[in-house]
Structure 1
Amino acid sequence: MNRNIMKKGIVFLLPAFFALQVSQAQLLKKLNKALNSGTSTSTSQSSGNTATNVTESEAGAGIKEALAKGVSSGIAMLSKKDGFFGNEAYKMFLPEDAVKIEKTLRSIGLGSQVDKAILQINRAAEGAVSHAAPIFTDAIKQMTVTDALKLVTGGNNSVTDYFKSKTTDQLTAAFAPSVKGALDSTSATKYYTDIVNTYNKLPTTINKVNPDLQQYVTARAVTALFDRISKEEENIRQNPAARTTDLLKKVFSK
């Protein structure tokens, strides 16, 4: 490739790259501001059980900051175009009970309808995730510091696992309306309903398929976000360069 053309291509891509970085940085800043606004300024208890003399208050704040960092990273990655559809790890296909629909409809020449449904399902997930920040921020705020020190010294994903066990049901319920709105706005509901109804009307169909997509997409979107949070937590624990604030350095240092 001509070197001048390559340079021009790189220069052309730089603004988009920096725009993404600024967007993620701004999101993290907003998340941390929201979390800190609800943080008590009362004196914290000192703990003599850790080598770094991290107080319970610092441990709790560090956990919340790590979660906020993971959420901002996950949202920035998954909410962009092809965040789900172009990612092999998170791309959604038809729900398991609808896989037989895909095989049947493709066999009778209706593969394009199936492809449109799959595309719009992923577009809906990308759109819904972009509205997830306030939901996750509220959930992070509600975390107590009771188990903070234990979580700080836990395994690579102990904070994420704790957060997941305590908040998945609430997050799923709160996230569902955003998913429904995204499904409707991207016509995913229409495309999926169309192919399900087409399949259900076939004379060879014995077991009808439920055309409801909301629960499936909600569960997959929440799972994907938790996966991104866990990867960010693991990175913060293992990679000192990922501890971008003094608090993260103190709480997660060895």
Structure 2
Amino acid sequence: MNDKKKIFIASSIIASSLLLQSFNFDSMIDKVTDFKKFKNPSDMSPKEVVETMTGGVLSTELITKAFKQALKVGVEKAVDTLGQKGGFMDNPAVHIPLPPPFSQMETMIRASGGGEMIDEFILSMNRAAAQAAPQTAGIFVDSIDEMSFNDAADMLMMDGSPATDYFKKHTREELKKLITPIIIKEMKTNKVYKYYDGVKKVADPGMKTFAKVSNFMGMAKKLGVKKHIPQDGVNIEEYITDHTIDGIFLMIGKSEKMIRTNPAHQTTAEMRKVFGQFVP
């Protein structure tokens, strides 16, 4: 947070407090004294700004608790929304597309008679993610419980969804390891491997023919893009797992923003106390 924002927040809180207590002369004098003491909030840490300007009401512990509650609410809403039929397939923000390198070859694959296979492949991936999402809720919640914020006060003074961003940064790889088996299970249930192999079979001959005629692989090697050519195919488990996790985090972030800015979504005493008093 920049110095101007610190000064604005601190001054606004003091001004509001002065207005509310304007009929109490002694209290007003105290507030003026506080203002003189902290007239340079740019020299203060985020924790000092928050705790001082709220009279110690908002401690780091309380802020952390409120953020964790907000994240858990976000997880609940995310998996509920994404776990619905079409939760991934029909939502452009989280829809899982045809993976590269097949996406670059889609026109050729469809022209070779693989259009229906592509459609089934995409649908199977999105269905697998939707069916896996609700099963990940407990894993996400456990990770939230174990998480330790480095500076909750700093995050409170940021815009957007800083708790979700912090959560994603510090837990993503561990979450990925725990969630991958769930994704693989649902991939099998939804025949993702069957459709993936079907698309690959249609794509490979066309690519090999094109490569033979145009020396495409030689050019690709020189250009440094050979690794993107579907020789062994994409790591489809990792691809779907990454998209599933990203989709859940996206929805958690949206929920966090709503909780921080809309009192109607502040469903616990801690959230009301923290986000109700201090909105960036």
Match of residue 185, structure 1, among 185, 189, 198: 189
Greater share of helix: 2
Runs of 4 or more, structure 1, over 3 Å off, are 47-50
Alpha carbons of structure 1 residues 100 and 204: separation in structure 2 relative to 1, 3 Å:
farther
Q: 1:208 aligns with which of 230, 234, 250?
A: 230
The equivalent position to 2:247 in structure 1, one of 217, 221, 224, is 224
CA 1:48–1:78: 2 relative to 1, 3 Å: same
Task: Structure 1: give runs of 5+ residues left out of the alignment.
Answer: 1-46
SS at match of 2:248: helix
The residue identity in structure 2 corresponding to 1:245 is T
Superposition CA RMSD, Å: 1.8
Task: State how far apart, in whole Å, the 1-side matches of 2:121 and 2:83 are.
Answer: 18
- C-alpha spacing 1:138/1:184, structure 2 compared with 1 (3 Å): same
Could you tell me the TM-score, scaled by structure 2's length?
A: 0.70
Unaligned runs of 5+ in 2: 1-49, 212-228
Q: Amino acid of the residue matched to residue 87 of structure 1?
A: N
Map 1:1-254; keep pairs closer than 5 Å: 48-51=51-54, 53-202=57-206, 203-204=208-209, 206=211, 207-209=229-231, 210-253=233-276, 254=278
Paired residue total: 208
1:220 Cα offset (Å): 0.9
Query: Cα 1:65–1:198, aligned 2, differ >3 Å: closer, same or farther?
Result: same
CA offset digits 1:173-231 (Å, max 9, x no partner): 21111111111110012111221123213342544341431111111111111111111
* 1:241, distance to aligned residue in structure 2 (A): 1.2
Shift of 1:50: 4.8
For residues 177 and 272 of structure 2, the distance between their equivalents in structure 1, rounded to whole angstroms, comes to 34
Query: What is the Cα deviation at residue 119 of structure 1?
Result: 0.5
1:150 Cα deviation (Å)? 2.1
- For 1:129, give the aligned amino acid: A
Q: Is the 8 A contact 1:101 1:196 kept in 2?
A: no
Which position in structure 2 is the counterpart of 1:8? none
Structure 2 contact 58–274 (Cα < 8 Å) conserved: yes
**Counterpart amino acid of 1:217?**
I
Amino-acid identity (%) = 29
Q: Tell me whether 223-232 or 145-154 shows the greater mean CA deviation.
A: 145-154
Largest Rg, 1 or 2 = 2
